[in-house]
Amino acid sequence: METTSLLLHSKSIPFGFGLSNNCNAYSKKKVSLRHFNEHLQSQRSNPNFFSYRIHKPVKIPLEPTFLLHQSPTPLRLTNTNFLSSVKCSISSSTSTETAGNHSRLNSLINLSIKAKATLLQLTPIDIIKWSAVFSIVIAATKWTVNLFLNPFFWMYFSWTWLFWPWLVAISLAVYGFYCFYKYSLGEARIFEQLALVTSIFTWLTLVPPAHFNGYLEGWPFVFFFVYHYFFFFNVSVRKRLYGDYYARPHDSKWDVSPPKWSRLFFCVGVMVAHWLAAFEGPELHLVPGGWSNAGIWILILLTLLMQYNSTLYLAKYSEKVVVPTAVVQFGPYRWVRHPIYSSTMLLFATYFIALRAPLSLLFVIAVCLIYYAQKAKMEEALMIENFRESYLEYMSKVQYKFIPLVY
């Protein structure tokens, strides 16, 4: 006889069957699958009902008369899952983690071997170099930390930012370097060229006096705009002659340029001179005003007129404003052979006179004379090569290069 297993009750599925030995015809066909508690309440009056809780499945042999397929209508058995079936799976995560640990261990071993090989290849000179680098880094780090922990630094820092927007100046300098890079590639637009010039003039005329005085007033503002107006005369001449601001293609031999070290010397020297002037001069509020500055205004007008007339006369006797077609002997060229350079030196001198900085004035004049003398010598050799006797005759008439009656 085939034995059938019935799960009467467990902790996870508290259901039971009501069975009796003396079952009538109806009760043979009736199987209750209600909750065990409800089953107790509904069958409490039935003396033949029995229930018990067991924790293990119990196999009860059934009589042949109690068979589910004896019903007139075939009983369809449906597998109803009250709880999701427990799934067992065997994972290989342990083996995967072990393989990963082995790969990491191998990589560390290879790295240590390479490090040992590199250390064995170091020479005493390399050790000295790396020691110097590490010493500089440690010293710089220590100095930076001490600086940021110094309360006086933050006090000065706060006052400086209150009276002078350092963030604007530094941002303008960074953008100026970017514009200079594009200008060196020949890709700078008009706005970028203007930004480059503005950045340079800001760090020449505004930043130094603001740093040493803590505020700005008076002449630095005036010369900030005078510098712009002065150096854009050549652009205005192009606009007047050709109707736009762009330079024309020309023979590159007329682009006279001294060596890089000479140009770097000139740029650094002019920048240092402006900072020395701001340091040497008195505080801005102590600079006298009124009619005592009338001579400075006259020098400003003289500088601007000299620059404009020199550029205009040179452009009239030049092709594309760069290549000369004749020896210019009119306007400022009647007194000095290089009036454009003379007007530049006069502009710097006027600014330093306005700041009452005589020593810085002598320094910037010396820097300009050294640089412009080298550049003028190259230009005159090129002029003699192209115009020969006419330019030699002009040199005999006008003996001074930059300063009338002096040099």
Residue 386: predicted pLDDT: 84
pLDDT at residue number 205: 92
| Domains of the chain: residue spans and CATH | 217-397 (1.20.120.1630)
Q: CA 8, CA 308: separation in Å to the nearest integer?
A: 114
CA dist 45 → 41, 119, 231 (Å): 8, 93, 116
User: What's the rounded Cα separation, in Å, for the pair 339 and 154?
Assistant: 48
- pLDDT, residue 405, reads 80
What whole-number distance in Å separates Cα of residue 405 and Cα of residue 336? 9
Q: Who contacts 146 (Cβ-Cβ below 8 Å, separation ≥6)?
A: none
Backbone angles phi, psi at 181, to 5 degrees: -60, -45
Q: From the first residue on, what is the mean pLDDT of each consecutive set of 10 residues in the chain (407 residues)?
A: 43 46 45 48 47 47 45 45 44 53 69 70 79 88 80 63 72 90 84 89 91 83 90 75 68 77 92 94 79 88 90 75 77 90 93 93 94 91 87 88 84
Q: Are 51 and 39 in contact (CB under 8 A)?
A: yes
Are the C-beta atoms of residues 346 and 366 closer than 8 Å to each other?
no
